Structure 1
Amino acid sequence: MAIRLMDSKSENTNKKYFDIFRIWKQFCSSHDCCALPANSVHVALYLNYLLDRHLSFSAISSVVYAIKWVHEVNGLSDPTTSSFVQNMLESSKRTARKPDMRISDEIMKCVLKNISNPYIYDYTTDFYLLPPVSDLCRMTVPDLELLYQRYLSTVQTVCKTQRRFGKITDGEWDVCVEPKYLPKYKCLVYSFGIANDFPFADDIARFYNCEVHSFDPSMGKKGYVRIKDQSYFHDTGLSDITRLNPDGNMKRMQTFLDIRTELNHLKRMPNVVKMDIEAWEWNVLPEMFAAGQFPKQLIIEFHLWSQKYTTQRDMWIQRLAVLRNVYDAGYRIFWMNRNHICRYKSHFTKQPTLACHEISLIRNGPNIMMSSSG
């Protein structure tokens, strides 16, 4: 029966659960408890320990599933069904973020381990390059928060000619209009996240004669042609998964590549991609890059979403890992706008802190960090 239970999960899922279970065994060996079979009170205490270390609901639930799975495979009673464990799981759920950020297996495993050799970041630098995940996992939560704020407030490259498109009061976005990044003919622009606000799309269509496609599944409107042969609205959202036939309150969502395929744009990479998608960017960007999708220019509002999860280590590490992924893909920040309306009170500094960063990036632009160091 154990073999059949193993076969019911993918090889990667089995490996993930057993890796997480090994960390639970290590905890038990140093805290005088039995990992298998486990006592439900000890499991609840372990979850409390993880909550004290600022892990998210996603990480906590993975631990519960791993312990449950290993007990089932070995024909043992499941200790995670007890009220003690379920109450701890519910407690972690109350601080769950929205939307659900995908936490990589690498990060999941490293945040469950103790920090035996802390990584000290050198903040005396002018350019806040991001270390690899292995080092991020060794940083404290206050340091992760500080590095995130410093990184998104640092210009990394130069665009000699840039222009703001959109409404002055709100909805303006800085675009690099150098011909390399935005040609004045046959330019293609995708704008995700509209909220009935089209000035950005209208401006860039009018002044640069671009073909512009605007996307938003939350406006209650069907897709339509706004300007013949030039400007279009689609009632579709950008996601890391494609869901074409939603039910109930679910929206129609597609990946970036699937959107390009549906619009017959596979031979035309958008020159500019603007995203204001309320924290979905953290899931979308890794999926885009994994699928080989690299627009010349990205204009993104990065969201922290809620103060409730700004104390969670895995969430900070995952955000910084995504930003490192953006950097490794060749994108450099040429402009940032501090949205002071969108703030939260830092749990660590007790000061108002930016929760939304409007960032403009170009790919393979001049690297002022390299020229500065030389």
Structure 2
Amino acid sequence: MRRYIPVVILNAMLLLAVIYILAPKEETRVHFGKEQEILNLTSDITIMEDSLYLEYERYVTTLQTDCEHISRCEPSNDAGYDICIDSAYVPTQPCLVYSFGSHFHFGFENDVYRRYNCEIHTFDPSMPIAGHRIPEGINFHLIGLSDFDHKSIFGWNMKTLSSIRTLLNHNSKVLDILKIDIEGDEWKAIPQILASVSNKYIKQLVIEIHFGRRTNGLKKDGFMSYMHNYWGDANPFVQLDTLKQLDKHGFKIFRSYKNKRAKLQLHYSNENIVFTMHVVSLKNTNIST
């Protein structure tokens, strides 16, 4: 329960700020003190968020385990993903790969298929298949990853990892690589994965992490424009805790690199720039090999 106390405090502070802003104002001089109080409160929230962004960046850039042999699948740019090919983790036939989030870009899957000839399943419900070519060796599904089975507000078919593994008759099979790049919905999917037996069958996990507030494109100064709502509707306390739960379940970071476009300027820190999106590669140190 203790780990939820900061969440409650942050939400309460935000609620107080909103209530004050929306409340009808009478005479300016009467409310001057209150207006100063709300400015102070807003500053406190900003300072708190700055510290969380810094803690996040330090956490995801600190390697937790070693991998002697790392291979980059797909071109060496922001679209690539690093996997561990040490003897205990290199995909060997019959190998199985799930890739969530594609927008019909299959560079990662093509590279894995060419090198290791794995059974590959790609999932993305956000665009219709019509007009797109699915490469050889890739099984494509109009299914999204979530924390429970449902139809989204967009009409997308959303399922848990456990339900997908059952649907594809993979309950007894090891996932050699699980790649997740789902625009912030990782904060919904990961807790469900860790709470289920599915996490025991995952050898490697590669995630593009979207931390903090949602982005809204680049500004002229080269920094991202950030919105008021959070990725995955999870505030930064919950997001950080989710990352730490991965570690507690044996998923250790062996590689991390930033998305150079996701640059945020902080307000109250000497370290005035952080990056809010990283691709993180983890290996399951608990799995039997």
The bucket for the TM-score relative to the shorter chain is: 0.7 to 0.9
Distance 1:52 1:267, change over 3 A: closer
Distance 1:354 1:86, change over 3 A: closer
CA shift digits 1:115-158 (9 cap, x unpaired): xxxxxxxxxxxxxxxxxxxxxxxx94433222111001111111
What residue in structure 2 maps to residue 317 of structure 1?
A: 237
> 2:112 is paired with a residue of what secondary structure?
helix
What residue in structure 2 maps to residue 257 of structure 1?
A: 162
TM-score by length of 2: 0.73
Aligned AA for 1:185? Q
What residue in structure 1 maps to residue 222 of structure 2?
A: none
Identity %: 32
Gaps of 5+ in 2: 24-46, 216-225
In the TM superposition, residue 249 of structure 1 has moved relative to its aligned partner by: 2.5
Distance 1:330 1:169, change over 3 A: closer
Alignment of 1:211-230 (within 5 A): 211-221=119-129, 226-227=135-136, 230=137
Distance 1:270 1:142, change over 3 A: same
Alignment of 1:297-316 (within 5 A): 297-304=204-211, 305-306=214-215, 307-309=226-228, 315-316=235-236
> 2:170 is paired with a residue of what secondary structure?
coil
**1:199 is the counterpart of 2:107:** yes
> 2:197 is paired with a residue of what secondary structure?
coil
Aligned AA for 1:354? F
Say what the alpha-carbon RMSD is for the aligned residues: 3.2
In the TM superposition, residue 310 of structure 1 has moved relative to its aligned partner by: 8.5
Verify the 8 A CA contact 1:182 1:272 in the aligned structure 2: no
Verify the 8 A CA contact 2:53 2:276 in the aligned structure 1: no
**1:283 is the counterpart of 2:283:** no
What residue in structure 2 maps to residue 296 of structure 1?
A: 203
**1:154 is the counterpart of 2:62:** yes
CA shift digits 1:139-193 (9 cap, x unpaired): 9443322211100111111111110001334410000112322332111110111
Equivalent in 86, 93, 118 of residue 210 of structure 1: 118
Alignment of 1:108-123 (within 5 A): none
TM-score by length of 1: 0.57
Aligned AA for 1:364? T
In the TM superposition, residue 85 of structure 1 has moved relative to its aligned partner by: 9.0
Verify the 8 A CA contact 1:310 1:316 in the aligned structure 2: no
Distance 1:225 1:316, change over 3 A: closer
Verify the 8 A CA contact 1:309 1:315 in the aligned structure 2: no
> Counterparts of 1:280 and 1:310 in 2: how far apart (Å)?
13
Distance 1:225 1:140, change over 3 A: closer
> 1:189 is paired with a residue of what secondary structure?
strand
| 177-186 or 285-294: bigger deviation | 177-186
> 1:308 is paired with a residue of what secondary structure?
strand
CA shift digits 1:202-225 (9 cap, x unpaired): 110110111111111112216997
Equivalent in 264, 273, 282 of residue 352 of structure 1: 273
Choose 1 or 2 for highest CA Rg.
1
> Counterparts of 1:296 and 1:288 in 2: how far apart (Å)?
13
Alignment of 1:1-374 (within 5 A): 50-51=13-14, 87=22, 140-221=48-129, 226-227=135-136, 230-243=137-150, 246=151, 249-294=154-199, 295-304=202-211, 305-306=214-215, 307-309=226-228, 315-349=235-269, 351-364=272-285
Distance 1:50 1:221, change over 3 A: same
Count residues in correspondence: 238
Distance 1:251 1:161, change over 3 A: same
Q: Which structure features the higher share of strand residues?
A: 2
Aligned AA for 1:144? L
Verify the 8 A CA contact 1:334 1:361 in the aligned structure 2: yes
